[in-house]
Amino acid sequence: MEVKKIAVLGAGLMGHGICQVAAQSGFQVHLRDIEQRFVDNGMQMIRKSLARFESKGKLTHEQVNEILSRIHTTLSLEEAVKDADLIVEAVPEKPEIKTSVYKEADKYAPPHAIIASNTSSISITQLGSATKRPERVCGMHFFNPPQLMRLVEVIRGIKTSDETIQTVLDMAQKMGKETVLVKKDSPGFIVNRILIPALNEAVALYWEGVAGRDDIDKAIKLGLNWPMGPLMLLDYIGADTTLSIAEVLTKGINPKFHPTAGLKQMVRANLLGRKTGKGFYDWTEKK
């Protein structure tokens, strides 16, 4: 199936980046959110990101304007999906919100349209069952920030067709991404199933007083060659998001993924990382 028009549902942290990547790859994109301030904020982030590319000489001023001209914003889900060939859902990581969006998108999208979720942990099979086209539902998990991170996990639900998977793999590659295929719809997919326990253990080391923040991050950066330490990475991801994924893994796979008490305390104290200004690090100056 050939994809010409894309709809991105959600203009937040991930949605605006996915929209930008699609527009930079030459596709017409409808960006939709539920309030104008969310749409405006998403567009502001896209303009800032493109300005950075321009200042580094990676894009010309004309190319930036062309990319922006391919993005069409709306508050109407019907308008966003009515002509779409591929719909990428990037709404908050709550099953009830995603299920509601899937039902509405299924109602208004053309019969051939694929609905892909950017979820990092929620069951693709569950999302597909909210539609009358489960064979055209799959996961398309980008990594933050989508403009820079090269990986996309493509996830097969129980009823996802081979054609849907191939179309989404091809689309990710057209967007300049490397892909991995998750053959079974398993919580956390590949990356988060490996990453979240590592972050959880880093928090445990810190809260138990085994080592300090800087030494934990230094040890993993130099010992495992990570580009940044686990506690700094956790601040980027958000303690709340990390906790949410840990709980999904605990419930869906094994109690061994149980989130540490320290991680729960961080969330209770609203020390979520960059999004609240403080986590393991102080981000108020860097904002």
Structure tokens at 226: 């990570």
Structure tokens at 204: 């445990």
The verdict on 62 and 199 lying in the same domain is no
Residue type, 122: I
Q: Are residues 28 and 151 in the same domain?
A: yes
Query: 25, 49, 121, 192: which one is catalytic?
Result: 192
Residue 286 has pLDDT above 60, yes or no: no
237, part of any domain: yes
Residue 254 covered by a domain: yes
Mean pLDDT throughout 59-76?
A: 97
- Residue 287: the pLDDT is 47
State how far the Cα of 188 lies from the Cα of 220, in Å rounded to an integer: 22
| Catalytic residue check, 141 | yes
- Number of structural domains (the chain) is 2
Overall average pLDDT of the 93-107 stretch: 93
Does some domain include residue 228? Answer: yes
Would 277 be classed as within a structural domain? no
Give the contacts of 10 (CB within 8 A, at least 6 positions apart). 32, 33, 89, 90, 91, 92, 118
Catalytic pick from 89, 117, 123, 153? 153
Q: Considering the domain boundaries, does residue 188 fall inside one?
A: no
R_g over Cα of the chain: 19
Q: Are 136 and 89 in contact (CB under 8 A)?
A: no
Cβ-contact 157, 133 below 8 angstroms: no
Q: Inform me whether the pLDDT recorded for 237 exceeds 60.
A: yes
What is the domain extent for residue 231? Answer: 194-268
Q: How far apart are CA 115 and CA 105, in angstroms?
A: 8
CATH number at residue 218: 1.10.1040.10
| Residue 84 lies inside a defined structural domain of this protein | yes
Catalytic residue among 89, 141, 200, 244: 141
pLDDT over 80 at 43, yes or no = yes
Q: 264 and 154 share a domain?
A: no
Is residue 176 domain-shared with residue 249, that is, in the same domain? no
Look up residue 13 and give its two tokens: 């942290």
The answer to whether residue 286 is domain-embedded is: no
* CA separation for the pair 130, 134 (Å, rounded): 8
Place of tokens 């994109």: 29
Is 21 within 8 Å of 148 (Cβ atoms)? no
Q: Is residue 276 part of a domain?
A: no
C-beta separation of 21 from 152 below 8 A: no
Say if residue 175 is in the same domain as residue 202.
no
Q: What is the CATH number of the domain that holds 92?
A: 3.40.50.720
The Cα–Cα gap between 162 and 165 comes to 5
Task: Name residue 163's amino acid.
Answer: E
d(CA 277, CA 287): 8
Residue 207 pLDDT greater than 70, yes or no: yes
Q: Is 200 a catalytic residue?
A: no
DSSP H or E segment with residue 117: strand 114-117
How far apart (Å, rounded) are the C-alpha atoms in residues 158 and 199? 29
What DSSP designation does 2 have? Answer: -
Measured distance CA(155)–CA(184) in Å, rounded: 7
Q: Quote helix, strand, coil % in the chain, to nearest 5.
A: 50, 15, 35
Same domain, 76 and 170: yes
* 200 in the same domain as 174: no
Given 123, 157, 182, the domain boundary residue is: 182
- Asked if the model's pLDDT at residue 258 lies above 90, the reply is yes
SS3 64: helix
pLDDT of residue 155: 97
Average pLDDT over the chain reads 95
Looking up tokens 């303009």 gives: 47
Name the percent of the chain lying above pLDDT 70.
99
The 10s digit of each residue's pLDDT in 171-206 is 999 999 999 999 999 989 999 999 999 999 999 999
Distance CA 61, CA 242 (A): 38
- Are the C-beta atoms of 253 and 187 separated by less than 8 Å? yes
User: What stretch of H or E contains 116?
Assistant: strand 114-117
Of 120, 121, 123, 200, which is the active-site residue? 120
